[in-house]
A and B are shown apart, each in its own frame.
Chain A
Amino acid sequence: MQIETDDPAIQSDAYIDALLDGHARLPIGLPLMAPPAGVRRVVRLLEQGLPRFHPSFLFEEQLAAQLRAAAAQSAGTGSDVLPVIDRRLLVGGAFASGVSIAGAFLAWRRRHV
């Protein structure tokens, strides 16, 4: 969309939209009235240089499982109350299972040595 305006905020907005359209593989139509060079430079830097992150696969899957469990629980009870996630419990659970595996291994060694 070609925008012709004297409003610098609208010019900046249209310029950003045009560049972001390029991310979505849409045709880039830069506005007729571009913002000042300094603003264009910042827009280009932020558009290309700000990194995007993705959460870890493990976290994403664990949270998906928790959401499924919470949905099943609230469907069963008809309540909106959700279980509280506590990272310490996740870490503690992993630690506890590590300890129990180690304990089982030691017990097995004692029996077999």
Chain B
Amino acid sequence: MERARCDPPAFERLYRKYVAQVYNFALYELRDRHAAEDVTAQVFLRALAGLPRFREQAEPPESSFRTWLFQIARNTISNEHRRARRHPASPLDLAFDHPAPTDVQLAALVRAEVARAWEAIERLPADRRRALVLRFVNEMSTREIGQVLGRSEGATRVLIHRSLQAVARELGRADRVRPRLPRRRAN
């Protein structure tokens, strides 16, 4: 990290490592590929500008850089939300534009169930939704998510658990109306 402050190639390595993660976070929030690209660009330019002021915390350096980067991303996304409210597509719609050809029927059932879970997540408050995206898409630890969202580790853990419970309740209600995904037979 120290090298990245004065060594552009070192910063580029960090950029290559995290660009997809920041892009994912932005895309899940903004649901628009172009808006997500704009935010990703702003985040890395701001990070580059702010690098001399970045202070390492008593953590693995890569981890604290990642949380710092995602704090910038969170602020940039909030500004973008204020600037333009546009949600043309769900992230799942974007992903399922090109479904895999294998096991089409099962894939469709799984997709339907994930889509129902995502519908429930969309109804959650922003911080809960962000916490789930950071946990499952970015695979961050609870501690890292807490740092990004400005909460304690314990509060973040409870936030995620309650979000999962809320989604589980929604799926349970939906099960009473629609049949559940059948168990797959072992070959």
CA distance A54 to B26 in the complex (A): 11
CA distance A51 to B154 in the complex (A): 27
Chain A 7-37 against B: per-residue CB contact (8 Å), 1 yes, 0 no? 0111011001100100100000000000110
Q: How far is the CB of B172 from chain A (nearest CB, A)?
A: 6
In this complex, how many residues of chain A approach chain B with their Cβ under 8 Å: the count is: 46
A-B contact pairs, 16 of them (CB 8 A): A16-B135, A38-B169, A46-B114, A48-B110, A50-B133, A51-B95, A51-B96, A52-B20, A55-B37, A59-B37, A66-B41, A67-B44, A67-B45, A68-B8, A71-B11, A80-B50
Interface residues of B in 85-123 (CB under 8 A from A): 91-92, 94-96, 110-111, 113-114, 117-118
Which 4 pairs between the two chains have the least Cβ-Cβ distance?
A: A38-B168, A49-B114, A51-B95, A9-B161
**Inter-chain contact count A-B, CB under 8 Å?**
134
Best-surrounded residue of B38, B92, B117, B161 (most CB of chain A within 10 A): B161
Q: Closest chain B residue to A49 by CB distance?
A: B114
> Interface on chain A toward B: helix, strand, loop, or mixed SS?
helix
Q: Closest chain A residue to B35 by CB distance?
A: A87
Q: B161 touching A13 by the CB < 8 A rule?
A: yes
Q: B49 touching A49 by the CB < 8 A rule?
A: no
CA distance A20 to B169 in the complex (A): 23
Known contacts A46-B136, A50-B136, A55-B20; A80/B49 CB under 8 A: yes
A46 neighbours in B (Cβ, 8 Å): 114, 117, 132, 136
Q: B168 touching A53 by the CB < 8 A rule?
A: no
A51 neighbours in B (Cβ, 8 Å): 91-92, 94-96
B15 neighbours in A (Cβ, 8 Å): 63-64, 67
Tell which of B40, B111, B135, B168 touches A55, judged by Cβ atoms closer than 8 Å.
Answer: B40
